[in-house]
Structure 1
């Protein structure tokens, strides 16, 4: 399992547009991807699950990546977050 933390920089948090982009990106990965925030866990491949986190600016998301290509998926996901969230 690979993990990393990411602090949300978007002024309005993880709202519909970036959440949709994140979900679409995660669906393209072969690994299972979970997002943890304040004790709640979301499946990154399911939009309503990600939206239910209610993530706001400056909150830290913990990503957990599990799968055969977890290292590659983790690196790509970190880059995606830096550019889009």
Structure 2
């Protein structure tokens, strides 16, 4: 398992468009990917579960992946977040 912690810095957090980009990126990987906010965990490949976490600007999340491309998956998602989803 490979995990990284990142802080959401885009102004709108993980609302519909960024959440869609996040899920589309996660879907490119074979690994099982989870996002954790405090005690809540969601499947990174499910937009509804991801949005249910209520991730806003300044929220610290952990992205964890397990599988054949786990490191690449986590790094790609962290890079997407750090780019502010192109906003």
Same fold (TM over 0.5): yes
Residue 77 of structure 1 and its aligned partner are, at CA, apart by 2.1
Query: Unaligned 5+ residue runs, structure 1?
Result: none
Report the aligned-residue RMSD: 1.3
Other-structure match for 1:24:
24
Partner of 1:10: 10
Q: Distance in 2 between matches of 1:21 and 1:63?
A: 15
| TM-score w.r.t. length of structure 2 | 0.90
Could you state the TM-score of these two structures normalised by the residue count of structure 1?
0.92
C-alpha offsets along residues 23-82 of structure 1, whole Å, 9 cap, x if unaligned? 111011111110000211010000000000001110101001100111222222222221
Question: In 1, distance between residues paired with 2:77 and 2:33?
Answer: 10
Instruction: Write the mapping of 1:53-64 to structure 2, written as runs, cut at 5 A.
Output: 53-64=53-64
Distance 1:70 1:19 in 2: 20
Work out the CA distance in 1 between the residues paired with 2:43 and 2:72.
19
